[in-house]
Amino acid sequence: MGHQRLGKLPAYRLLPEIIRYIVDGGTPTEAVADQITEFGQEALKFALKDDVFIEALWLLIHLPQAAAAKDAPTALAEIGIDGSAISSVSEVLFQYDSVVERVQRRLHHGSTDLGEIARRAGLSALADGIQSNLPSLWSPGADDVRASLAGLKGTEKFAALAQNFYANFVERVIHYYVDRNLHNMIGPDRIARSVHDLESFDGAIRRHCNESALIMRTFARDWLGKNHYRDGKKISRAGTRAFSSHAVAKIGTELAVRKGKS
């Protein structure tokens, strides 16, 4: 209610070719990867203007840092998280979701579908990150969950979180358009002859999104290492927006290099 629909991104023109490559078997890989990377870059440019997108990413940076702080309850409270309630993965995700959703409600008319997509992408990245740190031989307890969350504070872990977040975001934006336009894409003389032709779409698109997001993984690691650990800066929302803006530029530069234009 009250939010703005995305309309057509400039890179919307790329979707038919992206889907055609995937339906035909995902070849040529270089071409579809470049198409998805360019599409993602355009989507991220739009998202930079959305405060919900920035909040979702900002919280991914600060939540592990707060959980690892000496006075974790206070640090968590400062970012809107009830530390005493973090006893399970689902509770961590609920707390994260509640903070981002509060920003959505506050903005109301100023939020877009990109913000909602970013919220879901952040939840997915956070869940994957926590699960990857949990013990596999026994059912995790509250201490395990808190330790797993705190363990995401390092530069390498943030790099993985950021890659996962961006990949999830781009994948969901692609689906946002594809799912609404399947009726235009399926038919005897269209991109896909039947729904069956699109059964492999989800896995293929996820793989290509992850590959395109690899571009900014090293950048994310070095950015956090320099600003937080070396310079001791407290990462602000404005700093998060600047980081994401640099990441978009980085994606564009790498894409140009791959195409032989730089």
Condensed to tens digits (0 to 9), the pLDDT of residues 195-247 reads 565 666 667 778 778 877 888 899 999 999 999 999 988 899 999 999 999 98
DSSP assignment of the chain equals: --PBP----GGGGGHHHHHHHHHTTS-SHHHHHHHHHHHHHHHHHHHTT-HHHHHHHHHHHHHHHHHHSTTHHHHHHHTT--GGG--SHHHHHHHHHHHHHHHHHHHGGG-BHHHHHHHHHHHHHHHHHHHHHS-SSS---HHHHHHHHHTT-SHHHHHHHHHHHHHHHHHHHHHHHHHHSHHHHBSTTSSBSSGGGGTTHHHHHHHHHHHHHGGGHHHHHHHHIIIIIIS-PPPPHHHHHHHHHHHHHHHHHHHHHHTT--
Residue 208 has a pLDDT of: 74
**pTM listed for this prediction:** 0.84
Q: pLDDT 10s digit of each residue in the chain, 262 long?
A: 344 566 666 556 676 666 666 555 544 456 666 777 777 788 888 889 899 999 999 999 999 999 999 999 999 999 999 988 788 999 999 999 999 999 988 876 656 788 899 999 999 999 999 999 898 767 888 899 999 999 999 999 999 999 999 989 988 888 887 766 665 556 666 555 555 656 666 677 787 788 778 888 999 999 999 999 999 888 999 999 999 999 888 877 776 776 665 5
- Residue 2: its pLDDT value, please? 40
> What residue segments make up the domains of the chain, in order of their start?
10-258
Query: How many angstroms separate the first and last alpha carbons of the chain?
Result: 44
What is the C-alpha separation between 206 and 165, in angstroms, rounded?
12
The predicted pLDDT at position 1 comes to 39
